[in-house]
Structure 1
Amino acid sequence: MKVHEKPERAIKTVEDAIRLVEASRLTHIKVGLSDVDGILRGKYLRKDKFLNVLRTGFGFCNVVLGWDVDDQMYDNTSYTGWHTAYPDATVRIIPESCRRLPLEQGNGEDMLFFLAEFVGDAEAVCPRGVLRRVLKRAGEMGFEALAALEYEFFMFDETPHSVREKNYRNLKTWTPGNFGYSVLRSTVEGDFYRQLLELSEQMDMPIEGLHTETGPGVLEAALAVDRAIDMADKAMLFKAFTKALAQKNDLMATFMAKWSHDLPGQSGHIHLSLREAGTGKPVFYDEARPFNMSARQASFMAGVQRYLPEFMSMFAQTVNSYSRLVPGYWAPLNATWGVENRTTALRLIPGSEKSQRIEVRIGSADANPYIALAAALGAGLYGIEQRLDPEQIVEGNAYTQEFKPELRLPNTLWDAAQRLRQSDAARSLFGDAFVEHFAATREWEERQFRRHVTDWELARYFEII
C-alpha cells in the first residue's frame, strides 16, 4: 500500500480522527508538539480523554515555551516564567497530522501519533503558529509555498549513557574516515539505511535522497518537497524519529551544528518555491528572463538577502550554530546569492517550471524547522511586497571576496538576537510577542554558554597565562 493510501494519512477532520481512534485497539494515543528549540515534546493521552479533547483542545503546561533544551527555566521572558506560575495553555490536536508510529506497538498494532500546536494567547509565541501566520500572509498575496529540507547528521556507535561516561570525548563514529557518496558504506550498513528509508515512508516523511557526506559517520537526507506547513511537520518528525531509530539500534544521531572543530558542520538547507494559490502556476519560472528567474523570484530572493542579517537568529539558533559559520567549511558568511553557487548564502537553482527554486544555505541542522521556514518565507514575501532587487550576483568563490558591510551576517548568537529585536520587518511579519520572546530565549542561551569554561580555554590559558 502506498503512503498516501494509508488510512491514518487520509484523516482530514476531527470526525475522521474520531472514527479511526474509536476503531483502534490502542488504550492510549501519543501526541507531540514543538518547543522553542524545535524539540518534539509530548505525552500519551488515554483513548477516552483523547476523543474528548479532539474538538475542544486540552491543557498543556506552557513551561515548554518557557524553558531551554536542558529544561532550565528562562529568567528573562514575559510570556511565561515563575511570575506566571507556569499555567496550562490550550493545545489543538491537528487531525491531518495523524500517523502510525512503527517504533511503538500497543495491543498488536502500531501506535497512533498526532502533532499538536498551541492556540489562544500561546499561539503568538508558538513556533508552528508563527509559520502559519507567514503562510496566511502568502495566501492573502495569492501564493502557496512549497518547501523541501535537507539535513546532515552524524551517527555514532554510542549510547546516551556512554557519551556521558566519556564526557563527550573520544566518541566512536559509526563509520571511519571521509567517504562521501559511498556505495560501500551504504551497502555494509544497509540494515540501518533500509530501516530509516522504510520508517520515513511509513510515517509519510519520505526521503528523496540519502547518502554519506564527507566526514566519519555523517549522512545527508533530503526530504521530498511538500507544502511548507507539511514540510515543517515532516522535518520535526524526521529529526525526532531518526534519533529514536538510531538509539533503538544502539547508535546515536546528532543534528547539532558542529560537534568537532576538525570536521565540517551540519547544515539544514531550505529549498523554496511559490505557486499561484488558485491555478497552481509556478511563480518563480519565466523562460524569457536570465536563468529562468521571474521578476517575483528575483524580488523574493532579494527579500531573503536583505533581511537575512536581521533574521539570522531564526536560522542559526544555538551558540553552536556559529561555530559552523567560519571560512572554508561550506557555510556562507555574508548575505550573498549566486547561480548554482554553493559558496553563497542563497543559491538560485534554474530549472523547469516544476524545479525552479531558491536554496537558503545558511541554516544549520539544529534549527527549528517552523521558525527557519517562517524566516525564509517571510523575508521573501516581504521582498515581493516591496519589489526589491537583489544585490550583484556572485560568481566564483564567495569566501575570498569582499562585500558591503550591510551584507555581513552576525557571528554570535547574542548579536543575532539584537538584530532581530531591532528589526521592524521581523515585528511586522512575526509579531512583537514572538520577536520579544524568541530574542529573549536566544539571549538566555548565550548567557548559559558564557557561564562555562570551555576545554579550549583551559588548554590555551591554564598553564601559560
Structure 2
Amino acid sequence: MAARKVATAADARALVEERGLAHVKVAVTDIDGVLRGKYMSREKFFSALDGGFGFCDVVLGWDSNDQLYDNVDYTGWHTAYPDAPVTVAVETCRDVPMEGDMLLFLGDFAGPAEAICPRGLLKRVIERARGMGYEPSAAFEYEFFLFDETPHSIREKGYRDLRPITPGFFGYSMLRSSVWAEFYRELLDVAERMDFPIEGLHTETGPGVLEAAITVDKALEAADKATLFKSFTKIVAQRNNLMATFMAKWSPDWPGQSGHLHLSLKGTDGKPAFHDKGEEHAISRTMRHFIGGQQKLMPELLAMVAPSVNAYTRLIPGFWAPTSASWGVENRTTALRAIPGSAKSQRVEYRVAAADGNPYLVMAAALASGLWGIENEVEPEAACKGSAYDRTFPPRLQLPRTLFEAARRLRKSKPARALFGDAFVDHYAATREWEEREFRKHVTDWELARYFEII
C-alpha cells in the first residue's frame, strides 16, 4: 500500500506491518508552526491509533526558542506541564524519502488543548465554511533564501557576513537553476514523494532567493503541505550543507520573504462560488463579500499572519509588501489581489502574509475573515488602481506597525473571539506579547552604532 492511500487506522497498521517498521515518526505543530515530533515504537503507535497518545503540552507553552511563556493560562509551571492528548491523523501518512521505508504521521491536540491547537483551529474554520455550504481550496507560495552555510557556521559568524548560494539579482534565472540543478531536482523529488508537489520553482530577485508555488488542494491538506514544505526544504538544504531561511526579512538590503496564500470556494453543487461572468471582472457577490470581510478584519487579525517582530520590517513601502488593508484587481501592491480568470482559476491572493507565518493560522485568519464577510455581506472599499504605496488610506485600513500593537488589536477583537474562541485569542495574543517582550530585552547593532559614541 502507498503511504498516501492510508485512510483508516487499519490501513496504517497494515502498512507499518507490511514494511516491517519497528518505529514511525509522529509530529504536531506548535504555536509558531514548527513541527515537533519523535520516533514512536510500533507497539506504542498501534496503541495510539486506538486511543491517542500523550505529548508534553510544553510545546504549546514555549516559544520557537524553547523559552517558557510566563503569561499564559493554559499551561506553565502552575500546571506542571502535563501531557496533552493527541490523536493521530492517519490520512496525513507520508513516506520520508531520506529514511528508507520510514513513515511520518501528523497529529492533532485533543481535549482542552484542542482550543489552541493550530491545526485544530483551522479544522473548525473549515467546518464553519462547510456549514455555510462551501468547500475551500487553497495553495501557498513561499519565498526563501538559501545560504552556503551550516547551523554551526552561522552561529560562529554571529549571523553576520553570511554567504548566499548565488550573488546578484537574477530573477527567473535559467543560469542559476541549471547550475544548482541537483539541489532543485532533489527538492522537487522530495516534494513529489511526500505529496506537497511544487508546481513552480524559480529564482527570485536577490542573492540566493527562490520562490516555490505548492499545488492547490483542499484547505486543510494545503496547510499540511505548506507545513511539510517549510520543514523539509530546510532538511534537504541542511543535508546538502546549505541553509534555508523563511524569516520575513533577513536583510535590510533585500525585499522580505512572502508566504502568499491563494483561496477560493466551491458551493455544495461543486461549482466555483467566486466567478460570475455577468459581473465586472467576473467577481461574484460572494467573492466581493469575501474580500470585504478579509479587508475589514485584516488589521485585527494581522498578528496571526505576521507573527514575529521581524515580520513588521517587511511591511514597508516599495518592497513588494502591503502597508494597508487594501485590495485591487491584479494589483501586486495591495494586501489582497483579486485574480480574475476562468471559473476554475478565479481566486483571492492574501498577500499580506510573510514566509514566517504558521500555515494553519494564516489559513484560518484568511478564510475565517472571508467567511465572516459573506455572513455579514461586507462590501469592500473601492478597489485600488495603480500603486497602493502612492495612496493614503483611512485609519480603519491601516495595519498595526508592531507585533505588540497587532497582538493588542487581536486581543480586543470581538470578531476574532467569535470566530476562534476566547481560549485561542487569549493564548495566542499572550504569546505574541511575549515575543515582543523578548525582543525588547536585546540591544541591536543599530542601537550600538547610533548611540554608543555620540549620545
Query: Same fold judged by TM-score > 0.5?
Result: yes
Residue 142 of structure 1, aligned match among 130, 133, 137: 133
C-alpha distance in structure 2 between counterparts of 1:148 and 1:290, whole Å:
25
* Residue identity in the other structure for 1:192: F
SS at match of 2:122: helix
**Corresponding residue for 1:221?**
212
C-alpha distance in structure 2 between counterparts of 1:288 and 1:14, whole Å:
48
**Corresponding residue for 1:406?**
396
Residue 415 of structure 1, aligned match among 405, 423, 430: 405
C-alpha distance in structure 2 between counterparts of 1:436 and 1:137, whole Å:
21
Q: Deviations over 1:220-268 (max 9, x none)?
A: 0000000000000011100001000000000000001000011110000
C-alpha distance in structure 1 between counterparts of 2:378 and 2:4, whole Å:
40
Taking only the aligned residue pairs, the percentage that are identical comes to 62
The answer to whether structure 1 residue 429 and structure 2 residue 424 are counterparts is: no
C-alpha distance in structure 1 between counterparts of 2:454 and 2:138, whole Å:
51
Structure 2 matches for 1:273-284, cutoff 5 A?
273-276=264-267, 278-284=268-274
**Corresponding residue for 2:144?**
153
C-alpha distance in structure 1 between counterparts of 2:247 and 2:439, whole Å:
15
* Residue identity in the other structure for 1:354: K
Structure 2 matches for 1:114-263, cutoff 5 A?
114-263=105-254
The answer to whether structure 1 residue 337 and structure 2 residue 327 are counterparts is: yes
* Residue identity in the other structure for 1:159: T
C-alpha distance in structure 2 between counterparts of 1:219 and 1:231, whole Å:
20
**Corresponding residue for 1:295?**
285
**Corresponding residue for 1:26?**
21
Residue 316 of structure 1, aligned match among 306, 311, 315: 306
Q: How far did 1:85 drift?
A: 0.5
Q: How far did 1:103 drift?
A: 1.6
* Residue identity in the other structure for 2:15: L
SS at match of 1:310: helix
**Corresponding residue for 1:72?**
67
| Structure 1 spans left out of the alignment, 5+ residues | 1-5
The answer to whether structure 1 residue 379 and structure 2 residue 374 are counterparts is: no
Q: How far did 1:18 drift?
A: 1.3
SS at match of 1:200: helix
C-alpha distance in structure 2 between counterparts of 1:429 and 1:229, whole Å:
17
* Residue identity in the other structure for 1:383: G
The answer to whether structure 1 residue 397 and structure 2 residue 387 are counterparts is: yes
SS at match of 1:174: coil
Q: How far did 1:19 drift?
A: 1.1
Count residues in correspondence: 455
Q: How far did 1:279 drift?
A: 2.1
Q: Deviations over 1:313-337 (max 9, x none)?
A: 0010000000111111011010000
**Corresponding residue for 1:439?**
429
Regions of 4+ moved over 4 Å: none
* Residue identity in the other structure for 2:73: S
Residue 42 of structure 1, aligned match among 32, 37, 46: 37
C-alpha distance in structure 2 between counterparts of 1:99 and 1:414, whole Å:
38
Q: How far did 1:273 drift?
A: 0.2
C-alpha distance in structure 1 between counterparts of 2:351 and 2:266, whole Å:
21
The answer to whether structure 1 residue 453 and structure 2 residue 448 are counterparts is: no
Residue 364 of structure 1, aligned match among 354, 372, 375: 354
C-alpha distance in structure 1 between counterparts of 2:49 and 2:228, whole Å:
21
- TM-score, normalised via structure 1 length: 0.97
Q: How far did 1:48 drift?
A: 1.1
Q: Deviations over 1:167-207 (max 9, x none)?
A: 00000101111010000000010000000001000000000
* Residue identity in the other structure for 1:449: F
SS at match of 2:262: strand
Q: How far did 1:22 drift?
A: 1.7
Q: Deviations over 1:256-310 (max 9, x none)?
A: 100001111000001000001x321100000000001000000000000000000
SS at match of 1:98: strand
* Residue identity in the other structure for 2:205: T
C-alpha distance in structure 1 between counterparts of 2:408 and 2:176, whole Å:
44
Q: How far did 1:53 drift?
A: 0.9
C-alpha distance in structure 2 between counterparts of 1:175 and 1:386, whole Å:
49
SS at match of 2:91: helix
- TM-score, normalised via structure 2 length: 0.99
* Residue identity in the other structure for 1:307: L
C-alpha distance in structure 1 between counterparts of 2:99 and 2:238, whole Å:
13
* Residue identity in the other structure for 1:283: A
C-alpha distance in structure 1 between counterparts of 2:305 and 2:45, whole Å:
34
**Corresponding residue for 1:346?**
336
